[in-house]
Amino acid sequence: MNKKGFLLAEETLKIVIAVISITFLVYLLASLYLNNQDENDLELAKSSLNHLIDEMNVGIVEVEIFNPDGWNLISWNTGEEIPLQCSNLEWSSCLCICDDSWFGSGLEDCNDLGICKENPDLFVVGVNSPSPIEIKSPSIKLNIDYENKKITLK
């Protein structure tokens, strides 16, 4: 009998199983890390949006937003299709900070990973029409025009 061929097949099987196991563990760890990062970014977005709303309620004209880097501030107003978290609460208008890493439409980004607050004063983000403003590192300064109900990048 040829025992060398049998041992080679047995060792090859062990190596294949080990590679599959290591690949699964790497995938699991990467998934856990990315999920934790998304939760951290969502908390930062919530904090930044609360800060913006608080400053607007006080009447501050210039507000600085720091986090999360690469996300977008966007407004959704009456007559438009709005994110689910706004429509489920029956808000007609809302301000949102949403992840833009999916390269989808703004609505999909806000439904997938974003935080929204009611916008009863109907502020519009952008210069001419609702358009997202990207939050960049280290921060962005927003100019709030209370007369024209606009939030623009300074």
* 3-state secondary structure string across 61-94: CEEEECCCCCCEEEEECCCCCCCHHHHCCCCCCE
CA–CA dist 148, 125 (Å, integer): 11
The answer to whether residue 132 sits within a structural domain is yes
The answer to whether residue 3 sits within a structural domain is no
The pLDDT value recorded for residue 109 is 64
The answer to whether residue 104 sits within a structural domain is yes
The answer to whether residue 34 sits within a structural domain is no
The pLDDT value recorded for residue 76 is 85
The answer to whether residue 37 sits within a structural domain is no
Task: Give the residue among 101, 95, 143, 100 at the shortest CA–CA distance from 123.
Answer: 95
pLDDT mean across residues, the chain: 84
CA–CA dist 87, 45 (Å, integer): 19
Residue 127 token pair: 């210069």
Domain that holds residue 72: 42-153
The pLDDT value recorded for residue 41 is 85
Tens-place pLDDT, residues 80-136: 788 888 888 888 889 999 887 544 555 666 877 889 999 888 888 887 666 788 888
User: Coil, strand, or helix at residue 125?
Assistant: strand
Q: How many domains does the chain have?
A: 1
pTM: 0.71
The answer to whether residue 7 sits within a structural domain is no
The pLDDT value recorded for residue 117 is 92
The answer to whether residue 25 sits within a structural domain is no
Task: Give the residue among 63, 50, 57 at the shortest CA–CA distance from 120.
Answer: 57
CA–CA dist 97, 99 (Å, integer): 7
The answer to whether residue 29 sits within a structural domain is no
Q: 127 in the Ramachandran plot: left (φ > 0), alpha (ψ -120 to 50) or beta? A: alpha
